[in-house]
Amino acid sequence: KLLLLDEYQKNKPYQEKTMSINLNRIQNLIEKLAFISSVPNELTRLAFTEEDEKAHNMIIELCKEYDLSIRRDSIGNLFIRKAGKEDFLPAVAFGSHIDTVVNAGKFDGPLGSVAGLEILFQLCEQNIQTRYPLELIIFTCEESSRFNFATLGSKVMCGIVNQEKLSSLRDKQGKGLSEAMAEVGMNFNLVNQAKRDAKEFKCFFELHIEQGPRLENEGKTIGVVTGIAAPIRAIVKIKGQADHSGATAMHYRHDALLGGAELSLAIEQAAIQAGHSTVATVGNITAKPGVMNVVPGYCELLVDIRGTHVQARDSVFELLQKEISKVSEKRGLLIELQLISKDNPIVLPENMVNQIAETAHSLGYSYEIMPSGAGHDAMHMATLCPTGMIFVPSHLGISHNPIEFTDSKDIEAGIKVLQKVILEQAEVC
């Protein structure tokens, strides 16, 4: 099998033109992006903010030095295109995002975006042309941190959501998506114009840190992703009765916070019982009025349930619905369950998985065939075209955290694998 694989690699026409990468440039750009933040001494760059626009504009200015076309669509996705020799052909696309969670690490999202830039810059600098056009996509609002709605830009572009669906989104300050977009010069009424046709793409690749400990624990350099878990996201709104903490006997209380605590524990147990690597998280509990001497009259839970096994994942959501009825009756509470999103898990095409695995092998990198527990823009691109995803290790599996770290040798490995699969698909002339 290995002899056949070696022969297959030798016969690839693009292999003679495999390029180097400028690791210093890559690391410097990741560091520059990490300095663009709305909060001093931490990295917080939420979508549709001044800082998010500053980061996009910095990338645009860098690209103006090269023979690349640049545009942004009506939802804010950034497209950087290098024309192909046969430019009418569908694009070989690749990319990620640059928005962050609150108090983020600097590799989640920016790594894949900067990797794409480096590949395009190298092609331009070395005067290498491909038969197919190349298109780097930096998706807007991948993180759910601002609007509790993830992968917004790719969902709009892939036709999974439209303007009507997005009109109800609000951030924690109550600001709607329409207002947030207007503040950075975008028109919410044009959102539907961002939808693109599947015929425009030959394939799509995304490079990302793993955000889990498997690669590091297994001593592997490259993760070859077979499928992407998808979340159910919901808000549980609990209305009880605010009362004096000293004068209200325990059996007279309608404590919204304790109702929320019961539901949180029930969600945890449901995920454990569901199996199939299903996970569930209550990421935030808000109680009002939020003072020590008042029984909470209102509570709100932000719920995230994920898995690649649809039945197992959905069973957690179904149990939550049943527990809401029980807790409501038991504690005399009014409980509303608001479904925000319910995405479908994605199985990536076998030929894309094999291409990435063969490329990692040909470059001498160890690899692990594995699913992604986190959601990514790639899951929506997979509804338009053949899609592949590449992971590199994240130290201790830590992500969405300031101490998130990926070693430079792993960054280099991931970009070289990405570069090679792109060149193969795009056919170097």
Each residue of 226-271: pLDDT tens digit? 999 888 999 999 999 999 999 999 999 999 999 999 999 999 999 9
**CA-to-CA separations, 144 to 190, 201, 239, 340, in angstroms, rounded:** 22, 26, 25, 11
- Determine which helix (DSSP H) or strand (DSSP E) holds 136, and give its type and residue range: strand 134-139
CA distance 104 to 263: 28
pLDDT given for residue 18 in this prediction: 54
> Nearest-5° angle of CA 271, CA 277, CA 283?
50
pLDDT averaged over 10-residue windows placed end to end, the chain, 429 residues: 43 54 96 97 97 98 97 98 98 98 96 98 96 98 94 97 93 95 97 97 98 96 94 96 97 98 98 94 96 98 92 96 98 96 90 98 97 92 98 95 96 98 97
**HSE-CB for 161 with a 13 A CA cutoff:** 22
pLDDT given for residue 417 in this prediction: 98
Q: Residue 10 corresponds to which tokens in the numbers above?
A: 């030798």
On whether the CB atoms of residues 119 and 419 are closer than 8 A, the answer is yes
Task: Count other C-beta atoms under 10 Å from residue 339's C-beta.
Answer: 11
pLDDT given for residue 3 in this prediction: 43
> What is the sign of the dihedral through the CA atoms of 413, 419, 424 and 425?
positive
DSSP character at residue 370: E
DSSP one-letter string for 282-335: EEEEEEES--TTEE-SEEEEEEEEEES-HHHHHHHHHHHHHHHHHHHHHHT-EE
Residue 289 neighbours by CB under 8 Å, 6+ apart: 242, 296, 297
Residue holding tokens 């969405």? Answer: 400
CA distance 301 to 181: 26
Residue holding tokens 């498997």? Answer: 214
pLDDT given for residue 341 in this prediction: 86
